[in-house]
Amino acid sequence: MASKLQKRKSSSGQKTSKRGKNRPTLTVGEEEEPTNMESLGHPEIYPVVLTTKTQEIFNCRIDEDITDEQPYKLIKKEDILADFQNRAAVSDFYPVKKVIQEYPGDEILLVYDKDFKYGLNFYLVGTEEGKENYLNAPEIPEEQEEYKEHIPEEICIYKAPISKPWVSLGSEKEIEEESVKESTKKITYMISRKRHQFGAPIKFSDQNASSVKDAYIECTAYPDKNFTLRQLEKDIGMQVVPEVKDISTQTRWTYPKNAITQYHPREFSEEEKETLGQAKSLTDFLNNVSISVEIALQQNEIMNTFIDDWKCLAEEEGTFGDKTDTHLKEYQSFTDLHNLTEKMITCVSWHPVIYGLIAVSVAVRLSFEDRVHFSGKLLLQPSLILFWSFSDPIHPQLMLESPDDIFCFKFCPSDPNIIAGGCINGQIVMWDITAHADRIENIKTGGSRSKKVTLKPMFLLEPDSNKEAMYIRHCAVSSIENGHKHVITDIHWLPDTFEINRMGTVFENRSGICCQLVTCSADCTICFWDIRPQKALTPQPTEKKKDESIEIPFDVPSTFLHLDLAWKPLSKIRLSKGETSLDHCPTKISLSEDHLQYKAQDKMLAQSKAAKVGDMNPYQNLEGGLANHLKPREDFCTKFFVGTEEGEVIYTDWKMERDSETGRLMTKKPVSLYTVHDGAVHTVQRSPFYKDIILTIGGWNVAIWKEGVMTGPLLQTSCAPKRYTSGHWSLTRPGVFYIGREDGYIDIWDLLEKTHEPALSQNICITMITCIKPWTFSAKQQFIAVADYYGTLHILEIPWTLSHPSANEVLSMNYYFEREVKHLEYVDQRKKIREQEKKEMQLEMEKKKAGIHLKRRPS
Amino acid sequence: MPGPALSRVHGLFLSLVPSLEVEETLERLQSQKGVQGIMVANTEGIPIKSTMDDPTTARYAKLTCNLKARSTVHTSDPQNDFTFLRIRSKKNEIMVAPDKDYFLIVIQNPTESATLWAPSVIT
């Protein structure tokens, strides 16, 4: 071995090799067997990977120490061992550590595997022999080429093999690995059997497998979910095939039939008709038959035999409730608990469209002197119109503010969101609640807000966040100087079918909305107002307005801005009593077409009316209506009834005429005037059924008039024990009207039943009744709102008998009125006759006297 | 010879008279109160004379000729016969008078003409 080493050293010579060997302690328990290239036939070659660092350490850098010419390096075993110590497992030689440790020699050959023949970039030759082979090998290829050529020439000298001692090259290790050894000792069993049992004949018998327990073991099949497969894809071929059906039937073949169709009725021609008409048989026939026919015809003339008497006797079917119940039933009552001052209700009006909504105007219960006295206190409290709803008896839904107490107000018929009211100081106040319309429309549906209405004491009453009643400011007020000077006692909207100009001439109303008002006041005037902006005749008012430039609060709609404080009446009618200074003081007026406004208008109707004009709310665009050139209506009745404070009923004309002398516009003289009542007339109302029947109530009695009959009232009741303070026609029964008394009773008159006294008298409250307003919601529900002097509004339900007319009531009432008219005429005639008779009687008396005188003077 | 001429004239007269009678009868019937129309039709339903317009006439004639009134009466009692039929409808009354060869149909509106009303509420 040593000699070989020396040989190599001398042959190579230049190399310096480092060898280091060490036995590093293994941290990991395993020693890896270095891989060798046995598979490739070189068991001594161990491929290694040398990093650059390792190359530097061992001076085997590629292309520097190791070149193509000398791609190997001899490394000292000691160096490698030292490297093991230094770098332990990090060392690149670690995988081949075992080989290096066992390496017999001192220098190990490390070859650069440029072509990666053995897989890695370097390989180690693990045996001396291998090393030698390699080192000598470079000579071999050169020699081999020659050798190959020389092979056939060289003679092989046979050398008998000399037995050498066994040199272990590591192969016994492999053999040991590969050989199969028994891991455990074999166990031997000896089984023996008795000898006589061998070869014995075998007996086989049948046995049921299930009868004997454990005779068999089965592997039952069970569905194992692990192995269930779901087919996710399927490959199917399809073909569309036309479906063909074969049907056959057997028809019954009967026989051929002739069928005919006729398009025109068969008729005789004219000649045929003639001839037939002439035939004698026809005459005879007619003679025979006409007798019976005539009898039949005449029978029909005499009497209708098919009338069901029972049916006609009975009145309407389907009564709701007890028919004998004639009393008004209390439904609900409303009182304003928030305000502390004593108030009375001055006017009541149902909302024309919304169910269950009623508006009430309240005024303070003070006389004139008291008002002046407490004026400071009164200024602090707002005067209100309250909107009550059936769903909430404690909180009013809306509160309309006005500058002073309102004594009368009306909803505009064409737009229920516009309200006009007359104040105690003579101003007209306008409100526009279009902005709050949803609030009041949805009262019924929003019942979930406060289902339980608890009555809390006053000091605990807090405005509920939802229920905060809205105070709505008024939109416009009329001008103080030009308007009324005293309390406005009555206010009406003129119907939207006509309009009036300054002269009182009637024109047709093209705008389709109610745009004019008429008011009467205690200053003895009746004024007509127009809510549309007037063309300024004088520039003064506009200038004044500019000077004032009042800032309008943002929540007030600007519908009537043009009217605010500058609103002048269109025309004024003064009811003068001739030459004297005392004038008539009108309390109520009744125009000819008012009765249209008594029924609860269908929402659809009202909407369609408004929609006719345009998409916009017509009240927002009032100026548009002025430009229309209007056609005057000739045959319009411009007369109306007025009730006065003195108890007179005046029938007068609103058309102005020009006074021939002075050239001024003058009101015409009233057509007729009657003093029938002993107190102020508080109700002048046309019947909802007859256009010309008017009811007037005042003082202690009631009078019914017919328009056109100048001789007097049709009916004048006798004086009642208590004063009548309010009244109203019934809306559904033509002969019924309701009167409120000063002691809180309601008298219900039924003219078809009794005309000398009320049919029914019922107590409602303890104090004077100030206003009565019935209203129909449906065929089943009719209410009457009764307002009293103490500020409570009672809603009563009208029973069936009072709300449903009998079959011919309208006709009967008509007959009644006609009879009364005839009666008046008769009375008139009789008066004349009586006068004549009286005259005759007087003449006779005088004659007699003269006769006696004559007789006494015998000549 | 005057004899045959007379008879001829007489025959002429005779032939004229019946038409007048027919018209007279019809006029008389028409003058009754409430009568809306009269018509004469043959048994097949072809109208002969009528005071109403053609479509209405044709309709009524056709419908009445199909009436089984005669059979209704006659079959239950052979000695009985159908003499008169009155149909009262909501609006009017149809009267049918039959004969061997002809029908007479009269339409009357009875409610207008009835003088005796059912009792109503009178004050």
> In the prediction, which pLDDT does A628 show?
53
pLDDT of A287 > 80? The answer is yes
With respect to residue A516, please indicate whether it lies within any of the assigned structural domains.
Answer: no
Residues of B in contact with A265 (CB under 8 A): 45-46, 58, 61-62
pLDDT in tens, A96-150: 777 777 777 777 777 777 777 777 777 777 777 777 777 775 554 455 555 555 5
Q: Give me A428's structure tokens.
A: 């007209």
| Cβ atoms within 10 Å of A363's Cβ, excluding its own | 22
Q: CA gyration radius for chain B?
A: 19
Residues of A in contact with B49 (CB under 8 A): 273, 277
- Tell me the average pLDDT of chain A: 76
Q: Give me A334's structure tokens.
A: 């409303």
Mean pLDDT, residues A306-317 taken together: 69
> In the prediction, which pLDDT does A835 show?
92
Q: What residues contact B57, with CB distance under 8 A and at least 6 apart?
A: B37, B39, B47, B50
> In the prediction, which pLDDT does A740 show?
92
Residues of B in contact with A268 (CB under 8 A): 46-48
Crossing angle of the two packed helices A128-136 and A2-12, in degrees rounded to 10: 30
DSSP reduced 3-state for A439: helix
| DSSP states of A267-334 | ---HHHHHHHHH-HHHHHHHHHHHHHHHHHHHHHHHB-TT--HHHHHS--S---S-TT--SPEEEEEE
Does the pTM exceed 0.80? no
Q: How far is A297 from chain B (nearest CA, A)?
A: 7
Q: d(Cα B28, Cα A143) in Å, to the nearest integer? A: 164
- In single-letter form, the type of residue at position A532 comes to R
> In the prediction, which pLDDT does A244 show?
92
Number of domains in chain A: 1
Q: d(Cα A497, Cα A489) in Å, to the nearest integer? A: 24
Separation of CA A75 from chain center: 98
Q: How far is B102 from chain A (nearest CA, A)?
A: 7
DSSP reduced 3-state for A587: strand
B118–A307: do the CB atoms touch at under 8 Å? yes
Q: What residues contact A686, with CB distance under 8 A and at least 6 apart?
A: A590, A592, A594, A595, A692, A693, A694, A695
Are A37 and A140 in contact, with CB atoms under 8 Å apart? no
Residue A119's domain comprises: 38-135
B119–A309: do the CB atoms touch at under 8 Å? yes
Q: What is the greatest pairwise CA distance in chain A?
A: 232
Q: How far is A765 from chain B (nearest CA, A)?
A: 34
Residues of B in contact with A294 (CB under 8 A): 28-29, 32
B97–A276: do the CB atoms touch at under 8 Å? no
Q: d(Cα A190, Cα A599) in Å, to the nearest integer? A: 125
- In single-letter form, the type of residue at position A468 comes to E
Mean pLDDT, residues A520-530 taken together: 85
pLDDT in tens, A719-747: 888 899 999 998 888 889 999 999 999 99
Q: How far is A814 from chain B (nearest CA, A)?
A: 11
The count of residues in chain B is 123
When pLDDT is cut at 50, 70 and 90, the band that residue A841 belongs to is very high
Crossing angle of the two packed helices B2-30 and A280-302, in degrees rounded to 10: 20
Q: d(Cα A70, Cα A75) in Å, to the nearest integer? A: 14
pLDDT of A840 > 90? The answer is yes
Mean pLDDT, residues A232-240 taken together: 90
With respect to residue A80, please indicate whether it lies within any of the assigned structural domains.
Answer: yes
List Cα–Cα distances, A285 to A190, A288, A291, A605, B97, in angstroms. Answer: 143, 5, 11, 61, 10
pLDDT of A22 > 50? The answer is no
Mean pLDDT, residues B65-82 taken together: 81
Per the model's pLDDT, the better-predicted residue between A260 and A462 turns out to be A260
Mean pLDDT, residues A412-422 taken together: 87
> In the prediction, which pLDDT does A839 show?
92
Interface test with B, best of A273, A286, A754 (most B CBs within 10 A): A286
B108–A283: do the CB atoms touch at under 8 Å? no
A204: exposed, middle or buried (C-beta count within 10 Å: 0-12, 13-18, 19+)? exposed
Nearest to A302 among B86, B116, B123 (CB): B116
> In the prediction, which pLDDT does A277 show?
75
Nearest to B25 among A265, A286, A301 (CB): A286
With respect to residue A709, please indicate whether it lies within any of the assigned structural domains.
Answer: no
Q: Which helix (H) or strand (E) holds A2?
A: helix A2-12
Q: What is the greatest pairwise CA distance in chain B?
A: 80
Residues of B in contact with A300 (CB under 8 A): 34, 93, 108, 110, 113-114
pLDDT of A537 > 50? The answer is no
Q: Long-range CB contacts (< 8 A, 24+ apart) of A529-537?
A: A529/A428, A529/A478, A529/A567, A529/A569, A529/A570, A530/A499, A530/A570, A531/A430, A531/A560, A531/A563, A531/A622, A532/A622, A532/A623, A532/A625, A532/A626, A533/A562, A533/A563, A533/A622, A533/A623, A533/A626, A534/A568, A535/A626
When pLDDT is cut at 50, 70 and 90, the band that residue A859 belongs to is low
A300–B108: do the CB atoms touch at under 8 Å? yes
A506: exposed, middle or buried (C-beta count within 10 Å: 0-12, 13-18, 19+)? buried
Q: How far is B90 from chain A (nearest CA, A)?
A: 10
Q: d(Cα A408, Cα A424) in Å, to the nearest integer? A: 9
Q: Give me A602's structure tokens.
A: 């269908």
Q: d(Cα B61, Cα B58) in Å, to the nearest integer? A: 5
- ipTM over 0.90 threshold: no
- In single-letter form, the type of residue at position A288 comes to N
pLDDT in tens, A253-272: 788 888 888 888 777 788 87
B48–A752: do the CB atoms touch at under 8 Å? no
Closest-CA residue of B relative to A277 is B19
pLDDT of A368 > 90? The answer is no
Interface test with B, best of A293, A298, A316, A812 (most B CBs within 10 A): A293
B33–A286: do the CB atoms touch at under 8 Å? no
With respect to residue A113, please indicate whether it lies within any of the assigned structural domains.
Answer: yes
When pLDDT is cut at 50, 70 and 90, the band that residue A842 belongs to is very high
Q: CA gyration radius for chain A?
A: 65
Mean pLDDT, residues B12-25 taken together: 64
A278–B119: do the CB atoms touch at under 8 Å? no
A282–B120: do the CB atoms touch at under 8 Å? no
B114–A301: do the CB atoms touch at under 8 Å? yes
Q: How far is A823 from chain B (nearest CA, A)?
A: 15
Nearest to A808 among B22, B111, B121 (CB): B121
Q: How far is A261 from chain B (nearest CA, A)?
A: 16
